[in-house]
């Protein structure tokens, strides 16, 4: 039982990361029909922004050395800037483009970011130690939980509540939801398209920044492709959640995290290295029975 | 005044509308009728910027509207409803209406207040927090009307608001439509197949058939017009 609870908290914590990344992807898909494969590279960029740019093997922390209440907004601002810049330089020129064209453009943006990281920071993974004090464990009865996992789950809950309040309670949020559901109609009713899209990129960047920080403090390594597997799992999460549904993205994120951790924990030893194959098999099974995802809706968000 | 001058719309050489002219003011309900495929919705699309005329002009208050996008028409004071409703189905009724307000520059609070007033007026304030996708067909029309009336437009174009309504619901609708010019100083262009509604509320009626104007006049004149009767009954003129 304790073992299962321990696994459950692991699953929640991993699922949180996937859910946050999936939200960032789902938001842009809802409004632009853009499947943003550069989202993982936004995450990598946020992590690298913690250190001094150099090709040296050892990482020298810069923003990463600041107190957390400065690090958080600084990294958030940088990733938001990157997200807005990619909209301004690339996606804004492609407003009339089809969904596949947008997706391919996002691959290109991702490669550019990866290669810039390669050029500036070098190809070798670097060790970095951020907020290592959070690795301490909290003992609750027989459970021993790293603080970082609790922080991850907590930040995820706060961000989701914040996003939901924003979408439901503010005039910008109402406009975003309208645009996500019927973009042409929203435009006709006066919603400013570029503004709403810019807002979606900014929020997506903010979410990516939070994933950067949480992920890097868990793994303690930087690599120029570190965001790619996160992006992949988050993308799968949005697909099984139901593309375009934010609630679906969150549920999908937690589901993928849960399946992944449980496969790791309960698969026979010799099969564990094939964990991801089992995860994907389950995803395929879900899609066979629910082809349009767990929450099949075109809407951006349902009542939360 | 909202004016169409010699409007022609061609799709791939096929003429949907040929040389239609009409003009309406802010104090009247102006009916636009005609058999299916007569070009009514195409004309409304021209008057709201959803369709660019192949030739001819649309004038709003004497101002040329060439090159305006649909949102410019909405901002300049021409609201419309759609046959398919086109509500934001996942949003609540009141949000559907207020989004137009915030889109056009009101604060959320102002937009909500105005939206609630309009919902009250069309008679579904009690369903303000209902998710729009769950509304019955006839209520969707009311929400569409409220949405079109946000920010006091000079004209609203109602595309078949009575379709599928019972006689009693039609009566309610007629009261609402007839009151719009008086209460909002807003001209109504009404596309409708239900002749009881059209004849009951319109001050003037314009009849299209096969993309051409075949008559214009008061309800009494139109009811007696031989060409119109022929077009509707399929008899010889």
Pairing of strands B63-64, B55-60: antiparallel
Looking at residues A197-202, what average pLDDT do you find? 95
Chain B positions touching A299 (Cβ under 8 A) are 89-91
User: What pLDDT does A299 receive?
Assistant: 43
Assess if residue A7 is contained within a domain: no
Assess if residue A243 is contained within a domain: no
A181's tokens = 């559901």
Model ipTM over 0.95: no
User: What pLDDT does A104 receive?
Assistant: 96
Asked if the Cβ–Cβ distance from B74 to A185 is below 8 Å, we say no
Assess if residue A294 is contained within a domain: no
Domain with A25, as residue range(s), is: 15-226
Assess if residue A238 is contained within a domain: no
Find the residue in B nearest to A181 (Cα): B88
Other beta carbons within 10 angstroms of residue A274's beta carbon come to 12
Domains of chain B: residue spans and CATH: 2-77+152-233 (3.40.50.300), 86-142 (no CATH)
Residue-averaged pLDDT of chain A: 90
- Answer for the pair B176, B145: CB distance below 8 angstroms, yes or no: yes
- Whether the CB of A301 is below 8 Å from some CB of chain B: the reply is yes
Looking at residues A205-226, what average pLDDT do you find? 94
User: What pLDDT does A302 receive?
Assistant: 37
- Answer for the pair A34, A106: CB distance below 8 angstroms, yes or no: yes
Assess if residue A272 is contained within a domain: no
Helix (H), strand (E) at residue B158 = strand B155-159
**Which tens digits make up the pLDDT trace of B167-200?**
999 999 999 999 999 999 999 999 999 999 999 9
For chain A, the domain total comes to: 1
- Residues 45..104 of A with a Cβ closer than 8 Å to B: which? none
User: What pLDDT does A135 receive?
Assistant: 81
Q: Kindly report the CA angle at A280 between A17 and A117, in degrees rounded to 5?
A: 50
Q: How far is B116 from chain A (nearest CA, A)?
A: 16
Assess if residue A89 is contained within a domain: yes
Chain A positions touching B147 (Cβ under 8 A) are 189
pLDDT higher than threshold 80 for residue A126: yes
User: What pLDDT does A295 receive?
Assistant: 79
pLDDT higher than threshold 70 for residue A247: yes
Looking at residues B63-90, what average pLDDT do you find? 91
- Answer for the pair B186, B26: CB distance below 8 angstroms, yes or no: yes
B50 φ, ψ to 5°? -85, -15
Distance CA B157, CA B151 (A): 15
Residue A138, strand partner residues: A145
User: What pLDDT does A1 receive?
Assistant: 77
pLDDT higher than threshold 60 for residue A298: no
Distance CA B203, CA B177 (A): 12
**Which tens digits make up the pLDDT trace of A202-215?**
999 999 999 999 99
A-to-B residue pairs, Cβ atoms closer than 8 angstroms: 66
Assess if residue A190 is contained within a domain: yes
Token look-up 């690339």 returns A90
**Which tens digits make up the pLDDT trace of A147-190?**
999 999 999 999 999 999 999 889 899 999 998 888 889 999 98
The DSSP secondary structure of A195-247, one letter per residue, reads HHHHHHHHHHHHHHHHHHHHHHHHH-EE-TTTHHHHHHHHHHHHHHH-TT-HH
Find the residue in B nearest to A189 (Cα): B100
Assess if residue A31 is contained within a domain: yes
Proportion of chain B above pLDDT 70, given as a percent: 98
Proportion of chain B above pLDDT 90, given as a percent: 79
User: What pLDDT does B234 receive?
Assistant: 67
**Which tens digits make up the pLDDT trace of B122-168?**
999 999 999 999 999 889 999 999 999 999 999 999 999 998 889 99
Distance CA B69, CA A84 (A): 26
User: What pLDDT does A300 receive?
Assistant: 38
């Amino acid at each position: 039982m304790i073992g299962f609870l321990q696994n459950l908290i692991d699953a929640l914590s991993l699922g949180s990361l996937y859910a946050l990344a999936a939200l960032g992807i789902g938001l842009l898909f809802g409004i632009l029909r853009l499947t943003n494969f550069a989202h993982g590279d936004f995450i990598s960029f946020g992590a690298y922004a913690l250190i001094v740019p150099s090709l040296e093997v050892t990482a020298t922390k810069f923003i990463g050395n600041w107190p957390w209440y400065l690090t958080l907004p600084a990294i958030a601002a940088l990733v938001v800037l990157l997200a807005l810049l990619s909209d301004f330089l690339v996606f804004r020129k492609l407003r009339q483009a089809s969904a596949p064209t947008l997706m391919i453009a996002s691959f290109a943006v991702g490669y550019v970011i990866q290669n810039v990281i390669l050029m500036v920071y070098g190809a070798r993974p670097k060790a970095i130690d951020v907020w290592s004090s959070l690795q301490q464990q909290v003992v609750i009865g027989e459970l021993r939980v790293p603080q970082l996992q609790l922080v991850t789950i907590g930040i995820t809950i706060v961000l989701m509540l914040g996003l939901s309040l924003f979408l439901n309670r503010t005039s910008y949020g109402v406009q975003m939801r309208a645009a996500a559901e019927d973009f042409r109609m929203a435009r006709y009713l006066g919603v400013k398209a570029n503004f709403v899209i810019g807002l979606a990129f900014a929020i997506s960047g903010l979410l990516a920044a939070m994933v950067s920080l949480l992920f890097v403090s868990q793994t303690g390594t930087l690599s120029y492709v570190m965001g790619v597997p996160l992006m992949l799992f988050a993308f799968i999460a949005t697909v099984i959640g139901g593309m375009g549904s934010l609630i679906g993205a969150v549920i999908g994120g937690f589901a993928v995290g849960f399946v992944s951790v449980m496969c790791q924990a309960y698969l026979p030893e010799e099969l564990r290295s094939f964990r991801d194959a089992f995860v994907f098999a389950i995803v395929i099974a879900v899609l066979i029975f629910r082809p349009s995802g767990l929450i099949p809706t075109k809407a951006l968000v349902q009542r939360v | 005044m909202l004016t169409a001058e010699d409007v022609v719309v061609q799709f791939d050489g096929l003429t949907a509308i040929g040389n239609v002219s009409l003009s309406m003011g802010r104090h009247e309900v102006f009916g636009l009728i005609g058999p299916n495929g007569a070009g009514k919705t195409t004309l409304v699309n021209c008057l709201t910027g959803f369709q660019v005329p192949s030739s001819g002009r649309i004038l709003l208050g004497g101002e040329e509207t060439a090159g305006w996008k649909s949102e410019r028409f909405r901002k300049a004071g021409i609201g419309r409803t759609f046959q398919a409703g086109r509500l934001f189905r996942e949003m609540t009724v009141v949000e559907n209406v207020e989004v137009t307000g915030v889109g056009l520059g009101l604060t959320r609070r102002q937009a909500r207040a105005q939206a609630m007033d309009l919902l009250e007026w069309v008679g579904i304030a009690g369903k303000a927090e209902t998710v729009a996708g769950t509304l019955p067909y006839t209520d969707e029309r009311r929400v569409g009307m409220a949405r079109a009336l946000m920010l006091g437009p000079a004209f609203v174009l109602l595309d078949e608001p009575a379709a599928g309504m019972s006689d009693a619901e039609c009566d309610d609708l007629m009261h609402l439509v007839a009151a719009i010019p008086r209460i909002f100083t807003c001209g109504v262009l009404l596309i409708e197949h239900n002749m009881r509604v059209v004849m009951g509320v319109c001050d003037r009626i314009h009849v299209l058939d096969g993309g051409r104007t075949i008559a214009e006049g008061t309800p009494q004149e139109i009811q007696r017009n031989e060409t119109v009767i022929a077009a509707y009954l399929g008899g010889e003129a």
